[in-house]
Structure 1
């Protein structure tokens, strides 16, 4: 779990980001203008900031100048090359333009947290332990043999836990956009993971959609 500050003046977007980050286990605080962001960072410790550029009071670049020590992802409708170069050259960890897919934001959050060592390299729940660094999986303290694709699928499910993922989206995330197989591949791999990890009731089937790893941490 990481503590994340969301600085976004569009209430609907702020709430959407907050909801999805909370679903995967993070603690979120929301503010809606630049001065409130600086005040919040001065009084509390954060692992990551998701920072819009076009803000009331102070813009995102001005805020970032004062909080460079905190890992930051710029999130903005300003998609010009000069803005991206400015944000990254200032030292931001990533830059994502609107409109964006929530799964992409979640993946970028995870990547930044890993780089800044704020996210555990191991995931444990119940009798299952997954070590992302060594690519090892354990069930009831015994090693579980997983194929590379089974491990990648497991990692995607864990990183997006409590979020419903379509079969097509899982194919894109694990097998890639150019994969020519069909969605039955996902069903086969899900059944294998369920059996190997005792997760028959943890990896939920979402009717007419796909699957969701349902975990309360």
Structure 2
């Protein structure tokens, strides 16, 4: 049974009901808030694993609420589609952003991806003393040195390439959204933008394939990218 707790902060009852039904069908534990103020009251009693946040709320808006979520995974749901709004919300603390209207399947995929990033499975870090080393299958990445090894061959990555591969390898065989990748690496790699992400990933794919002739990174239409173990 899915034990993750998700709070829906949405004043539109019909949209909230639709989201709750879809999430509960996936066995998430769902709570509801219809305003920013009500969400704050609920958060004082129990902290969810993830918040689905509408921006246009009565009273305290979603823009105001997001700065008070204290590190809780948050996916913003908004009709705003301009790049500047998305970047501003990511800087305020949003983990991901989905534009209304959206397909429920995409939202569920984004929810799963965010929870998976917070609770990675499938890949392992070798030890506390090797915190920068992650392995997936027979591939090993040392993100501090920017070196990836497959078998007895290795290649060098840039800082940005290593950061991107690190996230993908921690979630092998699972799609990760573009905005999720950008959000996770934004502080350490400010040179990576929505425009340049595709090129960075293309560079990583080429470098990995030169080691074992396998394309380990797959583009998932409408979502982002997925790392496949060899």
User: Which category describes the TM-score, using the shorter chain as reference length?
Assistant: 0.5 to 0.7
Q: 1:120: how far off?
A: 6.8
Aligned to 1:100: 102
CA offset digits 1:26-53 (Å, max 9, x no partner): 0101111110011111111210000011
Structure 1 alignment gaps of length 5 or more: 122-132, 135-151, 157-173, 178-217
- Seen in structure 2, the aligned counterparts of structure 1 residues 24 and 85 have a Cα distance that, compared at 3 Å, is same
Structure 2 alignment gaps of length 5 or more: 123-135, 138-172, 176-217, 222-230
- Seen in structure 2, the aligned counterparts of structure 1 residues 175 and 74 have a Cα distance that, compared at 3 Å, is closer
Aligned to 1:35: 37
Aligned to 1:22: 24
Q: Distance in 2 between matches of 1:91 and 1:44?
A: 19
Moved over 2 A (4+): 174-177
Aligned to 2:60: 58
Q: Choose from 58, 76, 92 the match for 2:78.
A: 76
SS of 2:67 mapped into structure 1: helix
Is the CA contact (8 Å cut-off) linking 2:71 and 2:93 kept in structure 1? no
For normalisation by structure 1, the TM-score amounts to 0.55
SS of 2:58 mapped into structure 1: coil
Q: 1:84: how far off?
A: 0.6
Q: 1:92: how far off?
A: 1.1
SS of 1:115 mapped into structure 2: helix
Q: 1:176: how far off?
A: 6.5
Q: Distance in 2 between matches of 1:176 and 1:66?
A: 33
